[in-house]
């Protein structure tokens, strides 16, 4: 590794990649001037900072608003938030919960409920876990996605009762089929108002509705608790289980720390770092499932700080990391919605995971097609000295003196885009290439033009390296 | 035993899959034109009986599918009627997923064609054993450890395709290859990235031959499916050993505006396939090719006043020089009491029967592990691998 892992800038960059979507150099230096724990504290308290104004997009570009039933518009707005927010952890946690409580647009094709669903996750992203479970249990998009609207007092539909246990909290093997039936009964009557018909005016918001006449108020036994349990009781019991702390803890580890086995393997494969999961579970139990406490434990742990580049970027993370480098979309732009198509070719469509199991992660993001899309997207986006972020990199290198050696060129770019740690073979290859044309000269206009082109080309090579696929 | 020894042919069998995304309206493609119930339920999208193109006493083609009528009349098309499955899903994704993985009840990660690639090329020796034309890899072709190549634009395919100067691109690709050299102690994911990157590079080198070698008298139309099938022809006739081609024709989800849109799509798709067959024939490269055209589900029997909503039973088409033309399985019953969910045409044959037939009789493979069980086959070929 070429960059000293102890460098405080490296550690702060790591935190900002994981707790957010990366940073440009100026942001990074501002954050790194403060203590790590202070920055974590600010990240955990997003309300201290103004919320990003993505509504401004529909004001600037009415055509986006006119197409608001198209999820691409909203995913474009989400990218705008990811790269511009002053509350990076809020957007990152929203994406995290979206990956766990995977709810898709495809089944309903109903955009307003999906937009509300994501906003509900955003509002509650650092709340107590109970609040989140209650939120998704009363969320019309989730209710339709897992058929709870078909879960009736006299005819239960177990789908939601099963998935809230298997995928959203405890993991398979920690409850019985009878527990599932009790949970399903407890959620009967949790439904939504009949939506306005699609034609001719498009979709409208849908509201949660509790129908007491369709709710099974009878006695139920769930995980050893007996009584007239309703959905809130079920959620309270779930949130207190140590297996829930461990299961969500493992999700947090997989998303924020280092790639784990795929979720379906968790009932047989032990965690990569069992003591990290112990730490998270302890924070969970001590705080009675307060996500702020759990996340503070995570970010302040030594195992988090050490886990540099142990996570393959998801397509959303990859595209956002490239945009952070290019400095694009700092202002509203009419083509933001095209970013949805960009990540779809990389195998991810936000607001539309492939199934309730969510996306498979880690190396499963990569195949020949998606790797080609990633590399080409990074190159095509950054191969332009006029993009603000690219220009900033050029300016920083040229301002260091009249001459830049090939080694300085490579090391500066690796430093300025991360700092990115690369294998020695990667650095040797890049340096050997830089040496072919020798020292970069910034002393005259013509020479600087040639040097500028060389910086841009080196930048495109660095982002096509394997190491850039990792966060 | 090689397939060549089995039937005396010298060419390995090739499968071309054309996916119609969105749920093609089978009832408006192959129309039960003598049934009053068809006209009663489709006041808007129904094709008037003086417009459709009858080809049996009871069935007629959509007027925009005249190319399919010609292929059928030549005896080169098997129409598989009423394809679906027991655990049907009206969700596009879920339904397509079931078709792609042959797992109706769980979410699986291995595509059926990826398992075929593993059988044909267990070492992954040829990066273009399977080629998809389109962006991103369909799940049907994806499985851990299996290489399949996905081509967005054959004339400008591969890594760094956005770099304009060829010299600069060549140099950058060399550096890319050096950076992607596996190193000892790199870790499993880094090595996987190395292998994937190198596969993309070698696949691109091979595919670059196709535009150089290909000459044709056939003029394909200017639309995405025609362009994709022309790309299939270019790669197939170059002889790179590709055994599976995959391409997608999107836009069949006609909840609204079905009448004009479906007509255009059918015209584009059927004409492209007719041109493609002619092209292969001109290159003496048609005999080894079997085309499968499928969609994830059919549409609702009743129209909704503008289009049709998602349904159940659909239909598939198998096309080729060695196909025994005709109708297979049964057209789903239109009697109101037989409507699935009270509103759909039911299915009359499981889609895995179609796959098993192709795998066993055309590709010469044991289908049981690939499709996940024994499914009844039918006999749509004049020449087979078994």
The tens digit of pLDDT for each residue in A222-236 reads 999 999 999 999 999
Give the integer Cα–Cα distance in Å for B10 and A251.
Answer: 53
**Which element (helix H / strand E) includes B120?**
helix B112-120
Task: Give per-residue pLDDT as tens, A191-205.
Answer: 999 877 776 677 888
| Whether the Cβ atoms of residue A156 and residue A178 lie closer than 8 Å to each other | no
A301 & A397 share domain = no
Give the integer Cα–Cα distance in Å for B80 and B332.
Answer: 11
Name the burial class of residue A73, with classes exposed (0-12), middle (13-18) and buried (19+) by CB atoms within 10 angstroms of its CB: buried
Contact residues on chain A for B199, CB-CB shorter than 8 A: 368
Q: Which of B160, B186, B197 sits opposite A379 (nearest CB)?
A: B160
* B119: closest CA of chain A, how far (Å): 19
Contact residues on chain B for A346, CB-CB shorter than 8 A: 136
- What pLDDT score does A56 carry? 81
- What pLDDT score does A367 carry? 83
Paired residues of A190 in beta bridges: A210
Query: Tell me, what DSSP letter sits at residue B29?
Result: T
Q: Against a cut of 0.95, is the pTM above it?
A: no
CB contact under 8 A, B175 and A429: yes
Closest residue in B to A381 (Cα–Cα): B162
Tokens of B274: 């007719």
Paired residues of B17 in beta bridges: B246, B292
Give the integer Cα–Cα distance in Å for B228 and B245.
Answer: 10
Range of the domain at A36: 8-306
Q: Which of B161, B163, B193 sits opposite A366 (nearest CB)?
A: B193
Mean pLDDT of A456-470: 98
Task: Say how many CB pairs under 8 Å bridge A and B.
Answer: 125
- What pLDDT score does B3 carry? 41
Task: Indicate whether this complex's ipTM tops 0.90.
Answer: yes
SS (H, E, C) chain A: CCCCCCCHHHHHHHHHHHHCCCCCHHHHHHHHCCCHHHHHHHHHCHHHCCCCCCHHHHHHCHHHHHCCCCHHHHHHHHHHHHHHCCCHHHHHHHHHHHHHCCCCHHHHCCHHHHHHHHHHHHHCCCCEHHHHHHHHHCCHHHHHHCCHHHCECCECCCHHHHHHHHCCCCCCCCCCHHHHHHHHHHCCCEEECCCCCCCCCCCCCCCEEECHHHCCCCCEEECCEEECCCHHHHHHHHHHCHHHHHHHHHHHHHHHHCCCCCHHHCCCCCCCCHHHHHHHHHHHHHHCCEHHHHHHHHHHCHHHHHCCCCCECCHHHHHHHHHHHHCCCCCCCCCCCHHHHHHHHCCCCCCCCCCCCCCCCHHHHCCHHHHHHHHHHHHHHHCCCCCHHHHHHHHHHHCCCCEECHHHHHHHHHHHCCCCCCCHHHHHHHHHHHHHCCCEECCCHHHHHHHHHHHHHHHHHHHCCHHHHEC
| Whether the Cβ atoms of residue A251 and residue A100 lie closer than 8 Å to each other | yes
* B179: closest CA of chain A, how far (Å): 5
Give the integer Cα–Cα distance in Å for B112 and B114.
Answer: 5
Q: Which of A252, A286, A306 marks a domain boundary? A: A306
Mean pLDDT of A233-242: 98
CB contact under 8 A, B162 and A383: yes
Give the integer Cα–Cα distance in Å for A404 and A396.
Answer: 11
- What pLDDT score does B141 carry? 93
* B156: closest CA of chain A, how far (Å): 12
Of chain B, the end-to-end C-alpha distance in Å amounts to 12
- What pLDDT score does A204 carry? 82
Q: Which of A363, A368, A425 sits opposite B149 (nearest CB)?
A: A368
Per-residue tens of pLDDT for chain B, all 386 residues: 334 333 444 689 999 999 999 899 999 999 999 999 999 999 999 999 999 999 999 999 999 999 999 999 999 999 999 999 987 777 676 788 889 999 887 767 789 999 999 999 998 889 999 999 987 778 899 887 888 888 888 887 889 999 989 999 999 999 999 999 998 888 889 999 999 999 899 998 899 889 999 999 999 999 999 999 999 999 999 999 999 999 999 889 887 788 999 999 999 999 999 999 999 999 999 999 999 999 988 999 988 877 888 888 899 999 999 999 999 999 999 999 999 888 889 999 999 999 999 999 999 999 999 999 999 999 999 988 76
- What pLDDT score does B229 carry? 97
Of chain A, the end-to-end C-alpha distance in Å amounts to 15
B44, B93, B170: best to mutate for the A interface, most A CBs within 10 A = B93
Task: Give per-residue pLDDT as tens, A3-13.
Answer: 445 678 999 99
Q: Where are the domains of chain B?
A: 3-155+216-371, 158-207
Interface residues from chain A to B (CB-CB < 8 Å): 104, 106-107, 198-199, 259, 312, 344-347, 352, 354-355, 357, 360, 362-364, 366-373, 375-376, 379-380, 383, 423, 425-426, 429-430, 433, 457, 460-461, 464-466, 469
A332 lies in a domain?
A: no
Closest residue in B to A464 (Cα–Cα): B176
Give the other-Cβ count within 10 Å of A352's Cβ.
Answer: 19
User: CA-based angle A217:A218:A222, to the nearest 5?
Assistant: 100
A65 & A160 share domain = yes
B130, B145, B160: best to mutate for the A interface, most A CBs within 10 A = B160
Task: Give per-residue pLDDT as tens, A385-430.
Answer: 999 999 999 999 999 999 999 999 999 999 999 999 999 999 999 9
User: Higher-confidence residue: A357 or A244?
Assistant: A244
**B34 CB near a chain A CB, below 8 Å?**
no
Count structural domains, chain A: 2
Q: Which of A246, A277, A306 marks a domain boundary? A: A306
The alpha carbons of chain A give a radius of gyration, in whole angstroms, of 24
Tokens of A94: 């929203």
Q: What's the CATH number for B3-155+216-371?
A: 3.40.720.10
- What pLDDT score does B342 carry? 85
Contacts with A, B 189-218, CB within 8 Å = 189-190, 192-194, 196-197, 199-200, 203
Give the integer Cα–Cα distance in Å for A423 and B183.
Answer: 9
């Amino acid at each position: 590794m070429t960059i000293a892992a102890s460098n405080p800038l490296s550690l702060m960059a790591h935190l900002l990649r994981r707790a957010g979507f990366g940073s440009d150099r100026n942001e990074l230096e501002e954050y790194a001037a403060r203590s790590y724990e202070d920055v974590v504290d600010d990240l955990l308290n997003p309300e201290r900072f103004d919320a990003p104004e993505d509504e401004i997009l529909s004001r600037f570009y009415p055509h986006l608003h006119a197409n608001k039933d198209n999820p691409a518009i909203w995913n474009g707005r989400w990218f705008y938030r990811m790269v511009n927010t002053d509350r990076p952890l809020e957007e990152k946690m929203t994406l995290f919960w979206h990956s766990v409580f995977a709810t898709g647009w495809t089944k309903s094709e109903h955009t307003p409920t999906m937009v509300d669903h994501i906003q509900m996750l955003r509002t509650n992203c650092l709340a107590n876990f109970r609040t989140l479970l209650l939120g998704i249990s009363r969320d019309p998009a989730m209710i339709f996605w897992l058929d709870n609207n078909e879960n009736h007092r006299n005819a239960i539909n177990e789908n939601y009762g099963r998935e809230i246990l298997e995928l959203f909290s405890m993991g398979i093997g920690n409850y019985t089929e009878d527990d599932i039936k009790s949970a399903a009964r407890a959620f009967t009557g949790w439904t939504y108002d009949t939506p306005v018909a699609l034609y001719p005016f498009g979709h409208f918001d849908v509201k949660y509705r509790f129908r007491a006449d369709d709710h099974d108020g009878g006695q139920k036994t769930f995980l050893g608790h007996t009584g007239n349990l309703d959905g809130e009781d079920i959620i309270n019991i779930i949130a207190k289980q140590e297996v829930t702390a461990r299961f969500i803890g493992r999700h947090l580890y997989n998303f924020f720390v280092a790639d784990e086995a795929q979720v379906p393997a968790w009932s047989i494969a032990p965690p990569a770092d069992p003591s990290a999961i112990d730490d998270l579970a302890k924070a969970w139990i001590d705080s009675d499932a307060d996500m702020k406490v759990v996340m503070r434990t995570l970010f302040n742990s030594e195992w988090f700080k050490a886990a540099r580049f142990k996570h393959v970027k998801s397509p959303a993370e990859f595209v956002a990391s490239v945009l952070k480098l290019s400095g694009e979309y700092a202002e509203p732009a009419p083509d933001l919605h095209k970013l949805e198509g960009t990540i779809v070719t990389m195998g991810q469509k936000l607001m539309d995971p492939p199934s309730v199991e969510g996306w498979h992660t880690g190396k499963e993001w990569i195949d020949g097609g998606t790797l080609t899309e990633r590399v080409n997207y990074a190159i095509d986006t950054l191969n332009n000295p006029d993009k603000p972020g690219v220009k900033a990199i050029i300016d920083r290198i040229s301002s260091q003196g009249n001459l830049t050696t090939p080694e300085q060129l490579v090391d500066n770019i690796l430093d300025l885009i991360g700092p990115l740690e690369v294998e020695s073979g990667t650095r040797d290859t890049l340096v050997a290439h830089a040496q072919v044309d020798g020292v970069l000269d910034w002393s005259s206009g013509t020479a600087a033009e040639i040097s500028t082109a060389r910086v841009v080309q080196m930048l495109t090579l660095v982002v096509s390296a394997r190491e850039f696929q990792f966060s | 035993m090689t397939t060549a020894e089995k039937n005396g042919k010298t060419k390995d069998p090739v499968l071309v899959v054309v996916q119609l995304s969105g749920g093609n309206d089978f009832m408006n493609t192959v129309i039960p034109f003598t049934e009053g119930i068809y006209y009663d339920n489709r006041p808007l999208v129904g094709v008037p009986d003086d417009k459709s193109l009858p080809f049996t006493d009871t069935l007629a083609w959509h007027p925009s599918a005249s190319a399919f009528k010609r292929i059928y009349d030549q005896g080169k098309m098997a129409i598989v009627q009423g394809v679906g499955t027991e655990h049907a899903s009206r969700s596009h994704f879920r339904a397509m997923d079931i078709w792609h993985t042959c797992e109706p009840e769980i979410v699986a990660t291995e595509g059926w064609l990826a398992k075929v690639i593993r059988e044909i090329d267990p070492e992954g020796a040829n990066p273009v054993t399977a080629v998809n034309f389109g962006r991103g890899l369909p799940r049907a072709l994806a499985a851990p450890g299996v290489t399949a190549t996905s081509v967005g634009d054959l004339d400008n395919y591969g890594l760094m395709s956005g770099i304009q100067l060829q010299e600069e691109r060549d140099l950058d690709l060399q550096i890319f290859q050096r950076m992607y050299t596996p190193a000892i102690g790199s870790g499993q994911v880094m090595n996987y990235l190395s292998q994937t990157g190198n596969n993309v590079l070698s696949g691109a080198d091979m595919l670059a031959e196709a535009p150089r070698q290909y000459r044709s008298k056939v003029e394909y139309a200017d639309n995405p499916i025609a362009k994709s099938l022309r790309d299939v022809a270019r790669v197939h006739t170059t002889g790179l050993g590709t055994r599976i081609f995959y391409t997608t024709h999107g836009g069949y989800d006609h909840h609204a505006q079905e009448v004009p849109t479906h007509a255009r799509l059918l015209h584009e798709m059927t004409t492209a396939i007719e041109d493609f067959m002619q092209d292969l024939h001109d290159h003496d490269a048609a005999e080894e090719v079997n085309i499968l055209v499928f969609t994830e589900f059919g549409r609702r029997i009743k129209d909704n006043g503008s289009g049709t909503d998602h349904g159940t039973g659909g239909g598939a088409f198998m096309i080729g020089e060695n196909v025994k033309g005709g109708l297979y399985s049964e057209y789903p019953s239109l009697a109101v009491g037989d409507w699935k969910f009270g509103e759909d045409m039911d299915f009359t044959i499981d889609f895995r029967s179609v796959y098993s037939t192709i795998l066993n009789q055309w590709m010469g493979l044991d289908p049981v592990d690939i499709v996940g069980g024994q499914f009844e086959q039918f006999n749509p070929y004049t020449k087979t691998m078994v």
